[in-house]
Structure formats: structure tokens, C-alpha cells
Structure 1
Amino acid sequence: MDYIFKTIYFPRDRVRSGQATRVTVSLPTVDGPADPPGFVDYLASLGSAELREALGDRTLEDLEQMAAREDRSFSNECVRLIRESFVADTRGNEPRTGAITQASVPFGDAAPGVTFKESKRLPIFGWYPYVEGFSAPYVHEVVKRYGAGRSIYDPFGGSGTTQLAASVAGIPSWYSEVNPFMRFVADTKIEASRAARSNLERTDARLTEFQTRLTTELPQWASKVDLAGYHEAFPGRDFFVEGHIRELLGALDLAKEVAAEDEAVSSLLRLAVAANAVHASNMTRRADLRRRRADEYKTRVVDVPVMVGSSVERMLADLHQHSVNAAPTTFVSADCRQAPSQFDGAFELAITSPPYLNGTNYFRNTKIELWMLGFIASERELANFRGQAVAAGINNVNKKRREYRVFPDVESVAEQLDEQATDQRIPLLIRQYFSDMAEVMESVHRVLEPAGRFVFDIGDSKFYGVHVPTDHLLESIAETAGFAVESSTVLARRYSRDKSPLVQRELVFRKDA
């Protein structure tokens, strides 16, 4: 079935956290057997406020709890409630209203339905702020749509959204991820939280002890910090006010003492510190990590014990809500193109948001956290990770990389850029990206079971006036890998830097049975 995607805006007074939120729902485009005549057309006509009114103007949390009680996806529960309202109003001969007659699509720089914005407020999902993160409600929607219940795989695991969404649904998951810090984030959200929840009394005591000692002892711990490693890792770079980096590193030392041999608590506390590293620095993370401008965050106050303590407080609250039956996640490989053969045919569904062809340097963005938790000793080591990753950004382009594979459709675009691009790394980037993604397609096809599906969102790009139809090119490459293209759905309208229209799509590929 085809779907349209609409965003429902919940103002602050309709969200218990007090933070206004947008949630994207998928709505059917064809009347089902249980639908009264005209129902789908009515759905398509509703704007955000009208959708919320049709849902009874309930709070977001009430709707989420109703969906959970009935074991439905959030979208399906919304459709059910609106259908009931539609039938009741029709029987009462009340006029149907609708502001528009064509299905609306979310507009903006990115689709709220497939970005991290919707995940930030959810228990555990929001423990680490990740610009490139996925949307937990979207993952849940896909899982429900295809009825997956045994095994889910994310070839670009990132901060663990797919894995955690599967875990809370009781479904085991597997993932690949090059960045070791992101692997740590994912494993802490799923594995450490499962272990901590299983011994909640001990976890509660140790996290509470850490909070208390953080308030009273941090100055002493900070004074003992040796900054030699920091200066060696980032020579001449004033990423932090010295007092703040001392407090962050002191908090890590305190966490080690409090956690002792409890690995789950250790992971939780280390993540609580790392999650506040950029916010406590002179940097900011937008599309890329960069230095804060003088006119940004004028009211910002860096209070490390309060910031870290608040993260720990949230962890405690979230763990008390966490399911005792959460399913595990398993690391498959750093590079998804090199998944071990033991996983051949193992997964019924793969869900991911792959690297976009947009220049984002996914490793530089987390270099502070990578260093802080001991995954690198200097910035120079970032090159080792880039060499293992899909060539999605200009910093990944390297003539020393292995030979790229040639695809006629890709070449037709790359050859235009050979003529138009003043930076000749761009056409090489195009060739290497699609060559790498071909290997991703082949690897995912190999680890899926017969009739398994590969679902992901992707956006197109534009360089030097040349449009790169990433979605269409990947469809062609997926077919060469053995997939059938099952559907392509617009998730959002986007714009390039020159204001040219671009789109973000959900692509669904199916492995032949």
C-alpha cells in the first residue's frame, strides 16, 4: 500500500514535557475494507491542526499510550481514531471540512519524520544528541508496516535508534558501525540499559551516589586532571575553557570510582559526561562541528556538574520506565560491506539512514567525544576511520582508495561534473560514493533472508549546477545487486544551497524469495 506522510504539530500545552513537538504519521492513500466511502480523501484534506482536532485534541503522550496498549503503530492508532470520528460525524450528518484537496508533504531542510528531532524527547533515545540521528517513531512505523518480529539489521547503526526501537519492541537487532564512539552510544542505550534495568536498585544507588559526589567533590577531581593528553590530541586548539575541560575529565574520573566493576553503570556515567562535551565547549554542532560564533548562545551558561547531573537524572527516570523485556542488540562489523558470512540470510528486515552525499564528516563531528572516551589519542587517527567508511563527503575522497566500479547512469552524471566542477574531487566523490553503495547493497542483500526488505531514506544532491538523482541511481544499483524496487515515497521537500528543489525519499527494496 502507498502512503502519504503528514506532520502533526503538538504545542507545548499538548505535550507533558512542555516542549512543543512535531510528529510525522503515514496515512493510507486508498480506502481499506473497513473504511467508509470518502475517508481517505478526507485524511488527505486535513492540515496539522485539523488532524489534531480529529484526534480529540489529546496530548501526544495519551496517543502514544493508546497505541502501545493496543500494540499498534502510532500512525495506525491515529488512523483508527480519525476513522471513528469520521464515522460518528457522518452518521450525525455533520459536514466534513478540509482546508486542502491534495495530500500535503512536510517541507523544510529535512523531514521531521525521519530525523532525530522526534527521538530526543523519548526515554533513552535522547541520551546523546546526534544531528545525523534517525527518528524512532519512523523506525517503529516501518517495523509495524512489515510485521517484522524476529531480526532487524541496521548497516549504518549510528547512535542506535533502529536497534533501540527494535529492543523496546522485544525484537533482537544487529548492526554495523565504523565509528567506535557511536558503537559505544548504541551499546549503552541498549545493552547497558538492559543490564542496569535488570538490577535497578543497585543502579539507582550508584547513579544517585555519583550525582551527590558530583555536586560536592568535582572541584577536587578537576584539580587533579592532567591536560597533557588533551594538548597533545588538539595542539593549539582552544576547544574548551580550561576549567570546563578539567571538570568534564574530572567527572569521568569520579564516574570510574563510583562505577567500580559495574560495567553498565560505568557506560551510563561515561555517556552522561560525553553527551555534554560539545555543549560545554567553545564549539557547536550543526551539520558539522564548528566553533561558536560570537553572536551565538549569548545567554549560554556552562555549569558542568548541573549539565552532567541532569543527564544522569534523566537516565534514572528513563530506566524506571524501561521494559524488563527489552531485546538485545549485537555488533556485526565495523564496515557493513564486510559483514561476516555467518550472517548470510539471517535478517528479515534492514532499516537505515545511510550517509548522504552531502559532505558531512561523520568522524570529525565526534572527534571530541572520541578522544574524551579514549577511542583516539589525536585528530590524526580520524583518517583511519574515514578509510573504512562509505565515501560520502569530500574528506573521504582519496585517490589511494580502491578502484571504483563504473555504472553507466552514474558516469553520465559524473562526466557532467568533470566539465562543470572547479573542484575535481567532486566527480570522483560521485563515482566512489555509488561504487561503495553498490557494495553496501550487495552485502545487505546477502544477509537478508529470502523476501526480506531493505528500507531506508535518502536525499538527492546538487553540485555546480548538476543534479545528482541519488535515489534513482541507487534504485538502479539495487537492481544490479539482486533487489526488486518495491516502492519509492517522497518523505520531504528540501532545497540545495542555490535554492533548487530537492527531495528526500523512502526507498524499499525486496530480496526475491
Structure 2
Amino acid sequence: MAPTTPPSPVRRRVGIDRPNGLGVFGANMARPFHRWYPFVEGYSADLVERALIEQTADGTVLDPFGGSGTTALAAAMLGRDSVFAEVNPYMAWVADVKVNQSRRVAAEGTTDELRALADELSGNLPPADENHPLLVADRRRGYFPPGVGEQAVSIHAVIEKVLSGGAREVARLALGSSLVPASNMVRRTDLRKRVASDPAPNSLIATVAERLRNFGQDIDGSARAIKGSVKQIAGDVRDTWTEDPRVSVVVTSPPYLNGTNYCRNTKLELLALGFIASERELMNLRVSMISAGINNVSKRRSQPKIIDCVESVAQQLDQVAYDMRIPTLVRTYFSDMSDALAQVRRYAVDGARMYFDIGDSRYCSIHVPTHTILRQIAEAEGWRFLDEEVLRTRRSYDGSQLTQVLMHFEAV
């Protein structure tokens, strides 16, 4: 698809105050279940709730870039079933645990088992399997303070031995979400080693125990409010879906161009909980996801299709880029997103609404108007642009202002 016509005129929402925090995850940290796994790249549940309240049509809610399940959980709290696609198997599992497994624990009445495990963790842990993938990686990279990686492996073994059903999955998430805070790493958009100005690592045992109690408290107090369910229907949204849902509302935020590699950012969790057997498997995840970062550029990917409105920017980058992967990345990102938007349209009923959170980018002093280009691509794939709303402004590395917007489309 090669859209050549100018994008539809921008129509800003009027009569609405500038939203406070809709485009960031921070507000979710005060909410039950949402707080179980902080997701740097996520947005507020308030954004999802507002979209779903605006669009009351029957049908399934879809998030084609599911992340940690903010759309799925917010929809379930409103009694809506949802489906999602998500390449990262750990993040897809987090979404299932927040919605489906928390309801399962409430039905099974096993929150006392979570609290009992929290009390028992201060006792002697069994010896760790020294060949566990997390420890193999830790010996090479120094991800944890001495002995902490072994504690993680041992705690996981205890969870697998003493718990079952939904309680086991919730406890595994309590461990997974405690790994980075107890490691030598910090997640500041990207996962990196701690420096002197960063806080010291938490105690892993204390952190897991606290989360087990908090998770149990959330389930006891709020699980009855989760009326809907969620199901994963694809890894990469562009692949074949396992179901043919009748999608009436899409609420999503795709990977940002020049964004983080969030599969690499969750490598401790992926290794600790058995989603990958070695760090080498991260390459397969990286190649299978939307090409949004420089490390996603690979000869293993197919050649991007030529899109006229992308070429006007990519050709400028051809002239000035210090790394020729940059213009390749820009072309591939929009080609991938074109395929994703076409796939979503195939499953959306006529009149379905799509709420699309995205920000623009900048490379080598060349502005990449991501939201404008994606608007043109979406229109070419059967999405009529309705309006957009500025969620926040931010700064690029060179100090230039960048904008995050929420675009609103209708399937035609």
C-alpha cells in the first residue's frame, strides 16, 4: 500500500481539558491488579475506560499490541471481553494473570495460600539448580548481587512444588515482578546496570513476600469487579489469528519508532520463569516483533514495501544518517505497521472505533512525524480518521519537542 494523498485535516477534540497522565502508566500504580507489573511503555487505564465508555457497541475489545494487559484489565473491569496479540510471551502471560488467573484464585479461594507462602519464604530455601538459564546468564553478566539469582531459582522451585492452579501463576508473577528491583539492574526505559546514584537493590525475599500479600489483598478486595475475560489470539498481530473475533473497539499503543526493546528489557523475567532457555532466544523475539528500534534491523527480515509518504522522510535520512540502519528502520517500521493496521481492519466490523496512542520521533535532526504518517497509512487500510488529542509533549535527545497523541478512527 502506498498512500500518496495528503492526510485528512487534523481535528482536535474540543471542550475537553488537557488530560492528566492518560498517556503514561504511572496512575495505574494506585490501582489493584494494574500495579502488579509496572510497565514503562504503558498508558493509563483511564484512557481505556474513557474510550470504552464512549463506545458502547456490542462486540469484542482488541489490543493488537497487548503489552502487560492494561486494555484487557480495564475492559474486564467494565464487563467487556477482550482479545490481544503480543509477541513477548512473558508480557502476554502477565495480562492473563492479571485478568483470568486473579479471577481463578478468587473462585478457588486460595489467597490464604499466597499469604502462607509469604510467611514461609524467610525459612530455608532448597538448593538452586546451578544449570538454570537465569544462573547461567547471571554468571556471565552479573545481573544479581551474590546469592540473589540462586534465591530466585529456589523461590520459583518452591512455588512450583507447593502451589497449583491460579495461585501458582499469581505467585510466579510476584516473583517475576520482584526480579529487577532486587537485581544489579534498573529499568529506566531501557534495562541497564545500576550506578552509584541509583538506589541499592531490594531484598528479593522481602519483596516477593510483600507482593504475595498485596496480590492476595487485591484479589480479596477487588477480584469480583473483574467481569470480563481476556484471550491471546496471536503473537505478532500480523500473523494468523487463532480466532475470528467480532472486534468493535480497538484501544492500543504500538511500539514507538526509536522506542525500547521491551523483550530485552524483560530478559530476567523471561529467563527466570522459563519462557526462554537462553539469552540467544531473545534474537528470535526481536526479529518477530514490529521493527521499532535500531537493533531490530536484521537481514533475516523481509524487505520493507515502499510507501510514498514514508519515502519523503527516509530519503532525507539516506543523506544524513550516521548509521544506514536508521533509514532502513524507518522504512521497515512503517511497512510493518501498515501490515498490522491492515490485519486489524480485517477483523473489525464496519463502524468499529480505534483509539491509537502514538508519539513522533527524531533521528539525525530529521523530524519523523510518526502519527501523521500512520494516519495516512491507516486511512489507506480502511480506517477513517475522526480526530486526535494531544496527551503530552516530551523532548528528544537534541532538545526538540515531540508530541504524544491519541488518534481516533472509524472502520469504513
Q: TM-score range by the shorter chain?
A: over 0.9
> Counterparts of 1:8-27 in structure 2 under 5 Å?
none
Instruction: Tell me the residue number matched to 1:440.
Output: 340
Instruction: Tell me the residue number matched to 1:81.
Output: none
Residue identity opposite 1:496 in structure 2? S
Q: CA deviation at 1:199?
A: 2.2
Instruction: Tell me the residue number matched to 2:4.
Output: none
**338, 349, 354: which one aligns with 2:239:** 338
Instruction: Tell me the residue number matched to 2:172.
Output: 270
Residue identity opposite 1:333 in structure 2? A
Distance 2:243 2:45 in 1: 28
Q: CA deviation at 1:115?
A: 1.3
Q: Is the counterpart of residue 169 in structure 1 residue 78 in structure 2?
A: yes
Instruction: Tell me the residue number matched to 1:85.
Output: none
> Counterparts of 1:329-368 in structure 2 under 5 Å?
329-340=230-241, 342-343=243-244, 346-368=246-268
Q: Would the aligned equivalents of 1:209 and 1:258 in 2 still touch at CA under 8 Å? A: no
Flag structure 2 segments of 5+ consecutive residues without an equivalent: 1-10
Q: Would the aligned equivalents of 2:314 and 2:331 in 1 still touch at CA under 8 Å? A: yes
> Counterparts of 1:375-394 in structure 2 under 5 Å?
375-394=275-294
Residue identity opposite 1:366 in structure 2? T
Q: Is the counterpart of residue 255 in structure 1 residue 159 in structure 2?
A: yes
> Counterparts of 1:106-505 in structure 2 under 5 Å?
112-200=21-109, 203-215=110-122, 217=123, 219-221=124-126, 224-229=127-132, 230-259=134-163, 262-297=164-199, 300=200, 302-324=202-224, 326-340=227-241, 342-343=243-244, 346-505=246-405
Structure number with the bigger relative contact order (C-alpha 8 A, sep ≥ 6) is 2
Residue identity opposite 1:328 in structure 2? S
Q: Would the aligned equivalents of 1:359 and 1:395 in 2 still touch at CA under 8 Å? A: no
Query: Considering only aligned residues, what root-mean-square deviation do their CA atoms show, in Å?
Result: 1.7
Q: Would the aligned equivalents of 1:156 and 1:352 in 2 still touch at CA under 8 Å? A: yes
Residue identity opposite 1:220 in structure 2? L
Q: CA deviation at 1:481?
A: 0.5
Flag structure 1 segments of 5+ consecutive residues without an equivalent: 5-27, 30-43, 45-104
Q: CA deviation at 1:483?
A: 1.2
Q: Would the aligned equivalents of 2:43 and 2:70 in 1 still touch at CA under 8 Å? A: yes
Residue identity opposite 1:267 in structure 2? E
Q: CA deviation at 1:148?
A: 4.5
Aligned residues: 400
Q: Would the aligned equivalents of 1:445 and 1:482 in 2 still touch at CA under 8 Å? A: yes
Instruction: Tell me the residue number matched to 2:5.
Output: none
Q: Would the aligned equivalents of 1:234 and 1:379 in 2 still touch at CA under 8 Å? A: no
After superposition, give the CA deviation of every residue in 1:411-443 in whole Å (9 maximum; x if it has no partner): 010000000101110000000000000001101
Q: Would the aligned equivalents of 1:252 and 1:273 in 2 still touch at CA under 8 Å? A: yes
Residue identity opposite 1:227 in structure 2? E
Instruction: Tell me the residue number matched to 1:76.
Output: none
Distance 2:411 2:63 in 1: 16
Distance 2:162 2:411 in 1: 49
Q: Would the aligned equivalents of 2:287 and 2:300 in 1 still touch at CA under 8 Å? A: no
Q: Would the aligned equivalents of 2:28 and 2:35 in 1 still touch at CA under 8 Å? A: yes
Equivalent residue of 2:66, what SS?
Answer: coil
How does the TM-score come out when normalised to structure 1?
A: 0.75
Distance 2:325 2:112 in 1: 54
Cα pair distance change 1:163/1:198, threshold 3 Å: same
